[in-house]
Amino acid sequence: GGSGGTGPQPTSTPSPTVANGAMPTDIPGLIQFANEHFAAAKAAQARGDFVTYGQELQLVQDALVALDNLAGPSPAPSISSGP
């Protein structure tokens, strides 16, 4: 037999990067997600890290698109083409 190590256990410290698919699916969560990543983008911009800046802004945009989808289409004014 043998102990058969499974490798080092991952620590539970929060990581600054968000894994794909970790975006919230509720409106309050998406708003918080967007705000956090917008703040991270501004911080990256301030230190001249434009790669991270672009990645964070993309996450913000993704969250806004998801919010838009959750909120549904805004009611368009009905234009009647009557006789």
Model confidence pLDDT, tens digit, residues 24-73: 999 999 999 999 999 999 999 999 999 999 999 999 999 999 999 998 87
Tell me what the mean pLDDT of segment 8-31 comes to: 66
Kindly indicate the confidence band of residue 16, based on its pLDDT and cuts at 50, 70 and 90. Answer: very low
Q: How far is CA 48 from CA 1, 10, 14, 58, 60, in A?
A: 54, 30, 23, 17, 19
Q: How far is CA 56 from CA 11, 21, 30, 60, in A?
A: 24, 15, 14, 6
Kindly indicate the confidence band of residue 7, based on its pLDDT and cuts at 50, 70 and 90. Answer: low
Residue type, 36: E
Has residue 11 got a pLDDT over 60? no
